[in-house]
A and B are shown apart, each in its own frame.
Chain A
Amino acid sequence: MKTTTRWLAATAALLSMTALASAAETANIWVRADGSNFMPQIVEAFNKGHENQIKLDIIPNGELVQKYATSAAGGTAPDGLSLDLIYTPAFAAAGQLEDITDWAKSLPYFKDLSPAHVKTGTYKDKIYGLPFSADSSVLIWNKKLFKQAGLDPEKGPANFAEIAADAEKVAALGGDIKGFYFSGACGGCNIFTFTPLIWASGGDILSEDGSKATLDTPQMRDAIALYRGMVEKGLVPEGAKTDSGANFFAAFAAGNIGIAPSGAFAIGALNTQYKDIDYGVTFLPGKDGGSSSFAGGDNFVVTKGTPKLAVLKEFLDYAYSLEGQTLLASRGSLPVRGDLAKEALKDLDPRYQIAAEAMAKGRTPYSVVFNDIINSANGPWAQMINEVFFGDDVDGAIANAQETMQGIIDAGTGQ
């Protein structure tokens, strides 16, 4: 009898375990290739410690939007998505995303989440995206070249005049050494690193709600004059003119560029892959000082009607924990919880603190047609920057871009 009872108990236990195991669910999420440094690690860590599981797919950067759209049309969209934050309004406007306002506002640390992310995650007063990964824009300089040029290697430039003067001194070293680098044919790179110069000087390129293009401002012209002056003096490599972003980071990493605007991602990449480069990190300054930064990274969004919302919430809860934020930070993403940022970064390179501080003050332009007006290689922003940095007609280029950009904004996403 005893044996039978034992057998029955064991069978019941086994059955209940099987029931538990079958109750566990798997949610599918996507991330763009830029997130391949941190996403597989955090998914792996989550899967190890939880019944519910996440299945991750990494999608090439340039294909994510198209692939998601076609999958959504075919009913095979993933349950969730780590999405470049600037796309959140467009996805929300298209009715593809789940409204997560109540859940977001119920999070005890909601007010500490990256404000720029939350702003782009909000569409018509409802929240469709929450911050997941973060990357701020900063200015980096090569300490070795600064030293060789007779500059203080520990002091980065703090205003436009200092950028130009330092770049000139470094370029004077001659040979292949140049003072400054930027990708002159890349709209995305320059919204990330050039607009902070305008913001820090008190200007903007779009109105707060994204309904008006505001390109023609004195602050824009000052920032253009800074870049244009450096190009005219030969402080910028010839290849910058046609660089569509492929060399955005690699040029500085090659070791012959004095100063380059870049992202916080550069800290991790330089520390692990280019250990011989001694570099400093500072804020992107305004004309007469001050600072600003582009708040980039990803929002986490949920596909409308997914049955796996509970699993996704569990996953996001983990990503927001100190353990999750520390893990993300160690893999190159800045923490998105302001209240945990210091602690999550405490064991890492101190230069991350500058990037985190820049992030806290960071801004992100808000637009449902961001791809069209800014990221497109043939859009008004990309065309304008190339013309004003290297061409002959600054006034015409600004006026043309202002008109084209406003036309696209007015037309909205419709046809």
Chain B
Amino acid sequence: MSSITAKAGAMSSQPVRRRAKVDRSHWVGLLYIAPAILLVTVFFVIPLGMTAWMSLHNWPLMGQHRFIGLDNYVAITKDVRFWNALKFTLYYTVIVTIAIFAVAFPLALFVEKPRPMASVYRTAFFMPVVVGFASASLLWAWLLNVDSGLFSPAAQQLGLTEKKFNLIATFNPAFWSIIVMVVWKVAGFTMVILMTGLQSIPTELQEAAKIDGANAWQRFRAITLPLMRRTVALALILSVAGSILAFDQFYILLRGGPRNSTITAVYWIFNQSFVSFKLGYGAALSMVLLVILVVLSLIQLRLLRNPEGT
């Protein structure tokens, strides 16, 4: 009996000890991530909650606010200018993302291999990333200025055009000027992400394929691209999210012009919140944009998920 009891006691004491161990490590782990939890709570969860709460109110920039339930969301369904802005934002996102990848991938391939001056090239291509979007937009605003800028007077001086040309006066030149500016500004960042992905591909694979007689294109298609899936997914999600939230360059360079044709979703949210003084409505628009962004990111993740799970 006593031995049975002793055995039972020994058996029961073991799991208790393990649980205590687990519990302790659980708290230690929590302590380690506490600063991150605090930051996310203060700077993301609470503002998000407040925005959601605000979106249920008639909340003028000045004066008293009152609860109106889902009225702001109903109003959004009839807000033609928001849907137009969203359409334009998606159009811009598609074009600019393709353009960024079209420039960043060759650049990444170019600077990835050890070659003379590789670090100089990397630095040079990355440099515009360091400039803030607002500063870069102001710089381009000057470059594009028809009278005092660089492009139009230079083209005239070089005899390329007879008359001055105002690049931001009509939609297409204005839109493509923005695309060029953003690619100049952002491609270096995407290049670095893609470069680290390229460098993480084991060289043995490439060597083996080379020995098997695969040419450069075959190696790129069969080895580089498949193994870059996750890196591309990361770069793509960052690029799409950044483009969906585009604001500074359109606000500073074009102010939504020519004739309201380049108003992005965030521009419209800013406009409703701080020009029309409707903070509650702006918050509701922000929530709608957030949902759209989350859905788009999930779709991208699903499409680019590695089928082998590696």
Contacts and interface: CB of A to CB of B under 8 A. Distances in A.
Given A72-B62, A238-B164, A239-B146, A413 B277 contact: yes
A96 interface: yes
Interface stretch (B204-212, B255-263, B286-294): B255-263
A90 B61 CA distance: 11
Interface string A183-226: 00100000000000000000000000000000000000000000
Contacts of A239: 145-148, 164, 166
Contacts of A415: 58, 68, 71-72, 75, 278, 280-281
Contact of A91 (B62, B168, B257, B278): B62
A307 interface: no
B73 to A, nearest CB: 12
Give the residue among A242, A372, A377 with the most B Cβ atoms within 10 A.
A242
A384 to B, nearest CB: 10
A99 B258 CA distance: 42
Give the residue among B63, B165, B263 with the most A Cβ atoms within 10 A.
B63
Contact of A242 (B148, B257, B278, B281): B257
A66 B273 CA distance: 10
Interface string A80-108: 00000000001101111000000000000
Contacts of A369: 276
Contacts of A66: 61, 274
Contacts of B164: 238-239
B contact patch SS: loop
Contacts, number: 91
A96 B61 CA distance: 11
B275 interface: yes
B60 interface: yes
B236 to A, nearest CB: 31
A11 interface: no
Contact of B147 (A238, A244, A413): A238
Nearest to B72: A415
Contacts of B225: none
Give the residue among B146, B163, B280, B281 with the most A Cβ atoms within 10 A.
B146
B169 interface: yes
B271 interface: yes
Interface in B204-256: 255-256
A65 interface: yes
A69 B62 contact: yes
A36 interface: no
Nearest to A93: B63
Contacts of A96: 62-63
Interface in B53-85: 58, 60-64, 68, 71-72, 75
Contact of B146 (A238, A377, A387, A413): A238
B259 A386 contact: yes
Interface of B: 58, 60-64, 68, 71-72, 75, 145-148, 163-166, 168-169, 255-260, 263, 271, 274-278, 280-281
What 3 A-B pairs are tightest by C-beta distance, nearest first?
A94-B63, A94-B62, A377-B255
24 contacts: A72-B62, A93-B63, A94-B62, A95-B63, A238-B166, A239-B147, A239-B164, A241-B169, A242-B258, A369-B276, A371-B275, A371-B276, A371-B277, A372-B275, A376-B271, A376-B276, A377-B256, A378-B271, A378-B275, A386-B259, A413-B277, A414-B60, A415-B71, A415-B281
